Amino acid sequence: MQLITVNKDKCNLSYTCIRVCPSKAIKIKDNHAHIIANRCIGCGNCVTMCAQGAIEYRKEEDYVKELLQRDEKVVAICDPSISGEFDDINDYRSFVGMIRELGFDYVVEAAFGADLVAYKYKELLNNFHGKYYLSTKCPALVNHVERYYPDLVENLAPIVNPIIAMAKVVREKYGKDVKIVSLSPCVPSKDDVKFFNKSDGEVQAVLSFIELRKLFKEKGVTAKKVEYAEFDPPFARIGGLFPMSHGLFQAAEIDNSMLRGNIISTEGRNNFLSSLDEFHRSSDLSQHLDLFYCQGCIMGAGTSKNGRKFSRRSQVLKYVRKRLKTFDKDEWQKEIDACSHIDLSRKFSIKDQRLPVPTAEEVQSVLTDMGKGKIEDQLGCGSCGYESCKKFAEATVQGIAKFEQCSSVTIKNMNAYIKKLGETNDKLNNTKLALKESEAQAKEEHRLAVEASETTSAMLQKLPTGVVIVNENLKIIESNNSFVNLLGEETKLLNEIIPGLVDADLTKVIPFHRLFSTVLLNGEDILKKDVHYGSRLFNVSVFTIKKNKVVGGIIRDLYAPEVRTEEVIGRARDVIKENLQTVQQIAFLLGESASKTEKILNSIIKSHTKEE
Looking at the structure, do residues 568 and 485 belong to the same domain, yes or no? no
Q: What is the CA radius of gyration of the chain?
A: 52
Q: What is the pTM of this model?
A: 0.68
Q: Tell whether 356 is covered by a domain.
A: no
Structural contact between residues 385 and 15, judged by C-beta atoms closer than 8 angstroms:
yes
Q: Tell whether 182 is covered by a domain.
A: yes
For residue 280, pLDDT beyond 70:
yes
Q: Tell whether 492 is covered by a domain.
A: yes
Looking at the structure, do residues 370 and 251 belong to the same domain, yes or no? no
Split at pLDDT 50, 70, 90, the class of 568 is: low
Q: Tell whether 451 is covered by a domain.
A: no
For residue 488, pLDDT beyond 50:
yes
How close are the terminal C-alpha atoms of the chain, in Å?
Answer: 111
For residue 420, pLDDT beyond 70:
yes
Taking all residues of the chain, what is their mean pLDDT, rounded to a whole number?
A: 86
State residue 559 phi and psi, 5-degree precision.
Answer: -90, -10
Checking DSSP bridges between strand 263-267 and strand 205-208, what pairing results, if any? Answer: unpaired
For 377-425, the three-class secondary structure string (H helix, E strand, C coil) is HCCCCCCCCCCCHHHHHHHHHHCCCCHHHCHHHHHHHHHHHHHHHHHHH
Q: Tell whether 47 is covered by a domain.
A: yes
Among residues 167, 170, 166, 207, the alpha carbon closest in space to that of 187 is found at: 207
Chain segment 223-252, per-residue pLDDT in tens:
999 999 999 999 999 999 999 988 888 887
Split at pLDDT 50, 70, 90, the class of 500 is: confident
Would you state the pLDDT for residue 570?
60
For residue 308, pLDDT beyond 80:
yes
Looking at the structure, do residues 121 and 243 belong to the same domain, yes or no? yes
Would you state the pLDDT for residue 534?
82
Among candidate residues 559, 580, 602, the one where a domain is terminated: 559
Would you state the pLDDT for residue 573?
62
Would you state the pLDDT for residue 596?
55
Q: If you average pLDDT over residues 401-427, what whole number do you get?
A: 80
Distance CA(201)–CA(168), nearest Å, equals 5
Distance CA(204)–CA(194), nearest Å, equals 8
State whether residue 289 is helix, strand or coil: strand
Looking at the structure, do residues 144 and 289 belong to the same domain, yes or no? yes
CATH number at residue 4: 3.30.70.20
Looking at the structure, do residues 189 and 282 belong to the same domain, yes or no? yes
Looking at the structure, do residues 98 and 238 belong to the same domain, yes or no? yes
For residue 173, pLDDT beyond 90:
yes
Looking at the structure, do residues 575 and 529 belong to the same domain, yes or no? no
Compute CA 133 distance to the chain's CA centroid, rounded to the nearest angstrom: 46
Domain that holds residue 597: 564-611
CATH number at residue 108: 3.40.50.1780
Would you state the pLDDT for residue 258?
65
Looking at the structure, do residues 253 and 126 belong to the same domain, yes or no? yes
For residue 503, pLDDT beyond 70:
yes
Chain segment 424-483, per-residue pLDDT in tens:
888 888 888 888 888 888 888 778 877 766 776 777 777 788 899 999 999 999 888 888
Q: Tell whether 80 is covered by a domain.
A: yes
Q: Tell whether 533 is covered by a domain.
A: yes
Would you state the pLDDT for residue 404?
73
Cβ-based neighbours of 61, under 8 Å, separated by 6 or more: 207, 211, 214, 215
Would you state the pLDDT for residue 201?
81
Chain segment 111-156, per-residue pLDDT in tens:
999 999 999 999 998 888 889 999 999 999 999 999 999 999 999 9
Choose the most confident range, by mean pLDDT, from 258-272, 391-405, 465-479, 580-594.
465-479
Would you state the pLDDT for residue 198?
66
Looking at the structure, do residues 275 and 331 belong to the same domain, yes or no? yes
Structural contact between residues 233 and 172, judged by C-beta atoms closer than 8 angstroms:
no
Among candidate residues 58, 78, 97, the one where a domain is terminated: 58
Looking at the structure, do residues 40 and 64 belong to the same domain, yes or no? no
Split at pLDDT 50, 70, 90, the class of 602 is: low
Choose the most confident range, by mean pLDDT, from 88-92, 175-179, 581-585.
175-179
Would you state the pLDDT for residue 436?
87
Domain count, the chain: 5
Looking at the structure, do residues 198 and 245 belong to the same domain, yes or no? yes
Q: If you average pLDDT over residues 355-381, what whole number do you get?
A: 83
Would you state the pLDDT for residue 595?
57
What percent of the chain clears pLDDT 90, i.e. is strictly above it? Answer: 48
Give, in order, the Cα–Cα distances in Å from 455 to each of 396, 459, 501, 546, 551: 75, 6, 19, 20, 20
Q: If you average pLDDT over residues 176-192, what whole number do you get?
A: 95
Split at pLDDT 50, 70, 90, the class of 603 is: low
For residue 191, pLDDT beyond 50:
yes
For residue 35, pLDDT beyond 90:
yes
For residue 590, pLDDT beyond 80:
no
Among candidate residues 407, 442, 477, the one where a domain is terminated: 442
Q: Tell whether 586 is covered by a domain.
A: yes
Distance CA(398)–CA(412), nearest Å, equals 24
Distance CA(202)–CA(514), nearest Å, equals 102
Looking at the structure, do residues 401 and 488 belong to the same domain, yes or no? no
Residue type, 454: E
